Every structure is written in C-alpha cells, then in structure tokens.
Structure 1
C-alpha cells in the first residue's frame, strides 16, 4: 500500500487530549478552561470534556478555589517509569555525580527533540543557581552547548531544517547568522566539545561534549552548566572533565567495545 493510500488511524480526541497535556509548562503550570481553549483552538465544551476524562484518570487535577487545572500524579508515575528505564540514565548517573563533584557545577544529559534540546538527567551542585535546565525542559539548540553539539553531529538535514525554522536571538551573544552557526558546528566537530558563554541566558556558561552509542552515533550530550564567573575560572579543567565524562558514558554504552 502506498504512503498516499495508507489509512489514517489517528483519533482526533486522543490527539487533542495529548496536546492539552503538553500545553502545561513550568512557566504556566496551571490553566483555566478558557486559556486552554484559546491556546489549543478548541471550543470550551470540548476542552471541558477532555479535562473531565483526564481528571477521572488522574492526569489532571482541578484547584477548587482558582478553578485552574494542573497536571496530575498519573503523569508523574509515567515519567518515573520512562526515566528509570532509559539506559542512558542508568549508565550516566554515576558519571554525572562524579562530574558534578569534580567541577562543583550542575551536570546534565540531553537529547535532541523537535528542534530543541531536551534534558533527561541532571545532578545538581551544592551551590545551585537558577537554570532553565530541569529534567524535561526543552531549550533552543543554537544557543546552548548541548544543543549545538547535537546539531553538529546530527547531519546536514537536521541543521538545514533547524536553520529554516529560524535562529531566535536571546542575548547579544546568540548566534543568529546561519553561516556563522555552520562554522561554529564545524569547530565543535574538530574539537569534540562546545563552550557557550551567555548565548541563551546572560551570565550563564555551559560546556558540552558528545556521547556515542555502540554504533558510534551521537545521540546524547553531556554538559556542565553554571555562572560564567565560576566557570571561566576553571574552564580548561571543566572542558577536560566533560570530555572525560563523555568518553566514560560512551564506553558504558558499548562504543569502545565495538568489534
């Protein structure tokens, strides 16, 4: 059967329910029916029915006073199952803990999402600062070290699609020129790491290196993130430790043991 003739088994109601769940973020963790209807382009009655169904299964909860909805405990249970069964999280956890201990900064594991970098594991340092890098957070790729590493090894197809989607400016240091970004990614492939100084958030620096799976493919990135003042003082040491951590996790995933 051709791709054009393949039947569409997508259920609109299920898709809308999933879109509804995905509309909650850390910035907007609670929403009213009217807000959800407007953001999803659905009628209030449709949204109310979806919320009633999701609430009955524990996927959303309603605050009786504010009348706002937020994600329920069923979402947390699914998240726990996903994170606990990810091989990369099991293998990277001791390495991340050691990396944070040796650098004194917060460390992460990230993967690429739909034109974004997604953090799937994190070990926080004893002196944490406000960072937009919690587990599940999606950040832009072109101005974060993990994102640039994943772009650098993701192939020309991913890069060109990403560039066409637009290079949003977040700070004065954000790279918004496509040719300049291509040169940055070329340097990452040559050096095997990236350093980002205040490209996404002013005063925050991150260092990242690629993690390879047993096939040699770069599917993940490991990074250390912290205040620029602290990071710059020991940048060379941090670069060395991040690259060392990337090699260690790659080995755990079977990269160096390939026949």
Structure 2
C-alpha cells in the first residue's frame, strides 16, 4: 500500500509538471515550474530530467528553458484522431475554411468550457497556432452557446456562475439574458458571437447531434470583423454552418438533419 501511494504521488507530481506548460508561457525555467506546481526545486528538477529522458519535455541547451516535447504531440495526435467527432468533421471544416477563407472550428463541452477538437484557417483568418486542445468559456463563444442549448436550464445554471465573467463590453454577463439568447439560438438553429470573447472577432456556429439526437459538439465559422462581415454575410454563413453541422450529424448516426430555419 505504501508503494502504491508513493507511485500515485509520483504520477500526480509528473502530471502537475506537464500541466504547468499549459498555462501562460510555453517555455519555463525550473523555478517557474516549481512555483506553478508548489513542488521543491530539487523535486521539480528531478521530474523534469526524467520527463526529458522520456521526451515528454525538452530543454533548450542555450537558454535552459523547458518546453513540452515530441512525445506529447504523439499522444495528442493519437487522442484527437480517436475522437469520432474529429474524424467526422475534419474534412468538412477544412473545406469550409477553404471555401469561405475564414476559420472553421469544432468543439465539444468539457465541464464549463469549450474544448476545441478541430481547427482550420482560410487566408482571410490566419493564425500562427492551432486551437486544438485549447479551451474557452461557454457563454462568450458561438460554439459554447450552441453547446449550451443542448442542456437543461437547471444543468446550465449549475455550470455557470452568476454573474458571468465579462471579457469585453459585449459579453453577456447575466444568466437570464443568456437564457433568452439560448432560446433564440434554439429556434433559428444557429448562434452568433460578435466581439463577446475578443474585440475585433466574430463567428457563426451550429450544433452537431449524434444518433440519439443529443448535441455532442458544435461547428463554427469565425474570423476578424473585417473579413467575416457579419452584418452582410450572417445569413450566408449561418446556412453554411448549419449545412456542415447537419452533414456531420448524419455521419454520427443522426437521421433527422435540422431543416434550415428562416435566417435573420
């Protein structure tokens, strides 16, 4: 039992070290990792050395800064490729990004966060990084609001604080106002987000359903305001998002695609 407890503690400590690289700066000193994990410097140094030998982290020989290693990419790639939603959406969102020149994203819900499982960019919405594996708040994103429509109001209230945190002056911060918005999304079949998470960006999103009819994911078309031109293109992009989401839903076993509502 003592040996089991020690092994469990070692696993927890190693996991905490790896998790330190998922917040803030991608390259960290030993002291940074120790501070983030609450571990001693010698323990942190030993764990980093072990993780480096296993290729879970790597150290820059010039700066002595650590970053996540190649083995984490291998594991992440295998994990995302095993997701039915990722496999069903990958080609569809890639085509969306190419056709509209904008970003195309797919996410699932993990607790009170949006978790990205697919992300492609068109020439009008370039990024220097992938969103896959990253998270965002449910209430401030089109993807998140689409996912929230699949939950009972009581479940939503248990997930979300009141007031909701604001990220810009456009963020919905009141649960009652959010409920009204979710009813509107459910009735028309798609969500929009206009500078609610970040200034200068917008998106249109639609829910994805599985064979049971449950909302299991959401798909969005996003980009900078100047490129997405939501006032002029909302109906066009909403149609594209709903059609793509329905195609994914069918591939996941859902046999009653959502009819396109009157888009406003």
Aligned to 1:38: 35
Matches within 5 A, 1:159-198: 159-164=156-161, 167-198=164-195
Q: CA RMSD in A?
A: 2.4
Partner of 1:4: none
Report the equivalent of 1:155: 152
Structure 2 counterparts to residues 1-259 of structure 1, below 5 A = 11-25=8-22, 27-130=24-127, 134-164=131-161, 167-231=164-228, 232=230, 233-256=232-255
> Offset of 1:128 from its aligned partner?
2.3
Shift, 1:151, TM fit = 1.8
3-state SS of 1:49 partner: helix
| SS of match in other structure, 2:160 | helix
Partner SS, residue 237 of structure 2: helix
Once the two structures are TM-superposed, the CA of residue 67 in structure 1 deviates from its matched residue by 1.7
Asked if the contact 2:163/2:175 (under 8 Å) is kept, the reply is: no
Q: Do 2:112 and 2:160's aligned partners in 1 also have CA atoms closer than 8 Å?
A: no
Paired with 2:196 and 2:53, the residues of 1 have a C-alpha distance of: 43
For residues 107-163 of structure 1, the C-alpha deviation after alignment (integer angstroms, 9 at most, x for no partner) is 011011232111111221122244886111111111110011112213335422332
Q: Structure 1: which 4+ aligned runs deviate by more than 4 Å?
A: 130-133
Aligned-residue offset at 1:90: 1.9
Which digits, 9 at most, give the CA deviation of each residue in 1:66-91, with x for residues without a partner?
22111000001111211222222222
Q: Distance in 2 between matches of 1:238 and 1:67?
A: 47
Q: In 2, are the aligned partners of 1:214 and 1:257 still within 8 Å (CA)?
A: no
Contiguous gaps of at least 5 residues in structure 1: 1-7
Contact 2:162 2:174 in 1 (8 A): no
Bigger drift between 224-233 and 158-167 goes to 158-167
- 1:26 Cα deviation from its structure 2 partner: 7.4
Q: Distance between the aligned counterparts of 2:130 and 2:148, measured in 1?
A: 18
**So what's the TM-score if we normalise by structure 2?**
0.87
Gaps of 5+ in 2: 258-264
Q: Which whole-Å CA distance do the structure 2 matches of 1:9 and 1:148 have between them? A: 43
Map of 1:5 onto structure 2? none
How far apart in 2 are the matches of 1:110 and 1:22? 21
- Verify the 8 A CA contact 1:21 1:71 in the aligned structure 2: yes
